[in-house]
Amino acid sequence: MNNYVLAALVAAVPFGLALLFLYRKASRASNAIVAVDQCLALSLDKYRPMERLLREDDFRFLAAQPGYSPQMGRRFRAERRRIFRGYLRNLKRDFGRVSLAFQLLIVHSAEDRGDLASILIRQRLLFALGMLAVEGRLLLHAAGVGTVEVSGLIGSLEAMQLQMRQLVTPPELSTASL
């Protein structure tokens, strides 16, 4: 009899984990519906410092200072990369939120919006490729080679936000402002 109970428990655990996963995923989707206004109000200016964080100008300036040591330069570069990765995590999180809100707007749209779905897929692909490129450049930067460009990633988020704004804004309001 104990073998049957044990077998039932072993079979129930994956089922319970799957239900928990689906519940968490559904609760995140319902939170995104409320966050559409937040996604529209998201300011991309907070990512502007990221564009200059790993430029060589600051590293050359540090190297020209009295008392500079190569160890200090390595620590400075490592700290800047750590800060950059924090910005990158926030950018990825914000893109995910805007992307999910955009997807929900498409799904709940009164008419079929296949054109917007293709835009969403293209922006997600461009963002994913941009993230791969940035991660590769970060590895090269750690080796002391080159700098990292993030304007493409910020541009993808900005394009997604613009498309979302156009989807939410009624046509009579957008033509009235012209």
Q: Are 1 and 74 found together in one domain?
A: no
* pLDDT band with cut points at 50, 70 and 90 for residue 88: very high
d(CA 26, CA 21): 9
* pLDDT band with cut points at 50, 70 and 90 for residue 32: very low
The reply to whether 174 falls in a domain is no
Backbone angles phi, psi at 148, to 5 degrees: -120, 130
Q: Average of pLDDT values for 38-67?
A: 84
Place of tokens 């500079």: 68
What would the pLDDT profile of 104-137 be if each residue is shown by its tens digit?
A: 888 877 777 778 888 889 889 989 999 999 999 9
Q: Are 163 and 138 found together in one domain?
A: yes
Of the candidates 4, 103, 7, 87, the one whose C-alpha atom is nearest the C-alpha of residue 46 is 87
Q: To the nearest 10°, report the CA torsion of 165, 171, 174, 178.
A: 150
d(CA 39, CA 32): 9
Q: Among the listed ranges 1-5, 72-76, 173-177, which one has the minimum average pLDDT value?
A: 173-177
Q: Are 72 and 148 found together in one domain?
A: yes
Residue 103 has pLDDT above 70, yes or no: yes
Q: Average of pLDDT values for 51-70?
A: 86
Give the model's pLDDT for residue 6: 79
Q: Are 70 and 15 found together in one domain?
A: no
* pLDDT band with cut points at 50, 70 and 90 for residue 1: low
Q: Are 109 and 54 found together in one domain?
A: yes
Residue 141 has pLDDT above 90, yes or no: no
Q: Are 36 and 101 in contact (CB under 8 A)?
A: yes
Of the candidates 72, 84, 101, the one whose C-alpha atom is nearest the C-alpha of residue 139 is 84
Q: Average of pLDDT values for 82-106?
A: 89
The alpha-carbon radius of gyration of the chain (Å, integer) is 23
Domain count, the chain: 2
d(CA 97, CA 34): 11
Helical residues (DSSP H) of the chain, grouped into ranges: 2-34, 36-41, 48-52, 56-63, 70-107, 114-142, 151-168, 171-176
Q: Are 8 and 51 found together in one domain?
A: no
The reply to whether 88 falls in a domain is yes
Which range marks the domain in which residue 25 is found? 1-34
The reply to whether 14 falls in a domain is yes
| Higher-pLDDT residue of 142, 19 | 142
The reply to whether 23 falls in a domain is yes
* pLDDT band with cut points at 50, 70 and 90 for residue 22: confident
Q: Are 132 and 70 in contact (CB under 8 A)?
A: no
Q: Are 85 and 130 found together in one domain?
A: yes
| Higher-pLDDT residue of 167, 104 | 104
Q: For a pLDDT cut of 70, what percent of the chain falls above it?
A: 88
Tokens representing residue 63 in the block? 């190297």
Specify the pTM: 0.71
